[in-house]
Amino acid sequence: MKIVLGIGNPGSEYRGTRHNVGFMVADVLAQRQGVNKGKSRFQAVTADIKIGKEKVLLVKPVTYVNRSGFAAAAALSYYDLDLNDLLAVCDDMNLPVGKIRLRRGGLSGGHNGLKSIAQAAHTEDFARLRVGIGEPKGKRTGVDHVLSRFQTGEEPVIREAIERAADAVETWVREGIDAAMNRFNAPESDEDEG
């Protein structure tokens, strides 16, 4: 069994914001399996799907981004899984809009959702899939940027990136992190790392 934790904020006021791309990827995975409704558990909305022969639990925490670790820890503990069975999906301001980047572990890069999971797990050694949302422009702060919606010209790019990110999740489930990284990460020299 695997757990895919999409990081985002609950509530209609946050739907479609840059910070919620993790939720968007989880939603695409659920839709591909014909799952329209989730269950409330682990301080999250969850959905059970299958990718290939593997059972997968999609998790969308309702604790807001900064406390995503509670849902991750609760789900891992309940199913007696270790961190190798978890993939966190989140936004990344350090990647251009639409770029995706998989990592087997590493630093949070300032992302409070990843920080929360690392604190709950007492380690940064868990796989993550980052979806680029671009940097703030002008006088916009990081908080304002992540809570904003995508501009009209960015919408087709981010929609395609979310579908590609869902494909990357499916590859991670079926073939592991190395295969997913090889298939979906652009060459290092092509992007900034965050």
Q: Which token pair is 13?
A: 């006021």
Classify strands 2-6 and 127-132 as parallel, antiparallel or unpaired: unpaired
Annotated active-site residue 145? The verdict is no
Structure tokens at 114: 């990843």
Q: Which of 44, 20, 24, 46 is nearest to 35 (CA)?
A: 46
CB 10 within 8 A of CB 113: no
Angle separating helix axes 177-184 and 155-175, nearest 10 degrees = 150
Nearest CA-CA partner of 89 in 126, 54, 52:
126
- Residue tagged active-site, from 19, 111, 122, 145: 19
Beta bridge partners of 50: 55
Cα R_g (the chain), whole angstroms: 15
CA nearest 6: which of 30, 36, 37, 35? Answer: 30
Sheet of 54-61: strand order equals 39-41, 44-51, 54-61, 2-6, 86-92, 127-132, 100-103
**H or E element that contains 55:** strand 54-61
Catalytic residues: 19
